[in-house]
Amino acid sequence: MQTPAFPEVGGIVHLEHVNFVVDDHDLATTFFMGGLGFTRDPFKRADDTNMGVNVGNQQFHLPKRGKTMPFPGEIGLVVPDLPGIKNRLARLQGMGRFDGTEFAVSDMGNSCHLISPFGIAMRLYAAGTTPSLKPIAISYVDIAVPRGRARQIVGFYRDWFNCPAVRTVIDGEVTAFVPVGPYQSLRYRERDCGSYDTHNFHVAIYVTHYNQLHEKLSPLAGFQGDGLNQTFFFNGIVDPLSGDSLCGLQHEIRGIYHPDFMRSLVNRWPMNSEPFSDQAAVMAAQGDGSGLPSPGQ
Domain limits for position 184: 12-286
pLDDT tier, 209 (very low <50, low <70, confident <90, very high otherwise): very high
pTM over the 0.75 mark:
yes
Residue 270 lies in a domain: yes
Residue 87 lies in a domain: yes
Interior CA angle at 22 toward 218 and 105, to 5°?
A: 115
What CATH number does the domain containing 148 carry?
3.10.180.10
Closest to 126 (Cα-Cα) out of 85, 171, 182, 187: 85
Residue 296 lies in a domain: no
Closest to 57 (Cα-Cα) out of 136, 122, 124, 131: 136
Q: Give the total number of structural domains in the chain.
A: 1
pLDDT in tens, 239-278: 878 878 899 999 999 999 999 999 999 998 766 555 555 5
Strands 201-207 and 245-255, by their bridges, are: parallel
pLDDT in tens, 93-141: 999 999 999 999 998 888 999 999 999 999 999 999 999 999 999 999 9
Interior CA angle at 168 toward 165 and 170, to 5°?
A: 120
Q: Report d(CA 37, CA 46) in Å as an integer.
A: 17
Residue 1 lies in a domain: no
